[in-house]
Structure 1
Amino acid sequence: MIEFVPFEPRHLQEIDAPTRDARHWIENADASGLVNGYAWSCLRDGACVGSAGVLPVWQWRALAWSFFGRMPANTWPAITRKTVRVLDQAHEDGLHRIEMSVIMRFPAGHRWAEMLGFTYEGPMAGYGARGETYALYGRVRYASEGGS
């Protein structure tokens, strides 16, 4: 069974990162800087299997972030629903532009971005820690438009 709880910085260290790239991002994240009202973690049997959130950059713009470890495929629908609710709340609170980046060679990440309501905007050359190209996705909604 999974449970959603407010994000705590220690959660990142509990995640069993599925790839070297994911481990690199987790180890180098400023976890204390990610704590805010839009950050949450997913616990499975009491252990953190993933964390995500929306980090405001300035008044109307934010960055979506997520770190997920290995977990059964049947947990993804609940995670996706939770993520959409958080994104919609951020929009309702006035963050009309939310950006998300996905490494180009991760097709599942691109599919998930689109499922969350993001639109592909283009490549970001040299964005990764080792010079990898990432894709930029944007999700733009104004509070008056409502959720997805």
Structure 2
Amino acid sequence: MTQQTDAQAPEQSQEQIFDAALEQYKSGTPAKDLIPTFKALCDHDASNSAAWTCLAWLYLLDDKAEPAYKAAVRSVKLNRTAVQSRVNLALAMLETSRKGVREHVEVAQQAVRMVPELAEEVIENLEEGLRRRPNWKAALRIKSWLFDKES
């Protein structure tokens, strides 16, 4: 599937495009190749918090902290309880040297402590991020704050 058909094929629903792009990500497609698809999904439906979360993550993986921050802010505004959105925002804030990281880390900590499945998902995502972007300092810090500390 090409980027052009991902974002513009009228015969595919936005959900199908999202699912196909997510599968491409899972199969190892580079983040930079998927950014246009998720950007198009966000442009098509600005209230799709899952698409904004994915777009923020892809920007982070592609070392584009400023657009990641903007996408993560939008994602958190749309769904304040989404743990991965909070993690993405904290990562982007660290990478852009913004203040206020602690609030988002604390919200994520509370969620992962209460729901083990969320903890597993966040750990998997951070580990995947570290595979795709080795020695990613912000991800290592967030992972440590969320899972290595007793607080």
TM-score range, shorter chain: 0.3 to 0.5
- The answer to which structure has the higher strand fraction is 1
- The answer to which structure has the higher helix fraction is 2
Higher relative contact order (CA 8 A, sep 6+): 1
How high is the TM-score relative to the length of structure 2? Answer: 0.36
How high is the TM-score relative to the length of structure 1? Answer: 0.37
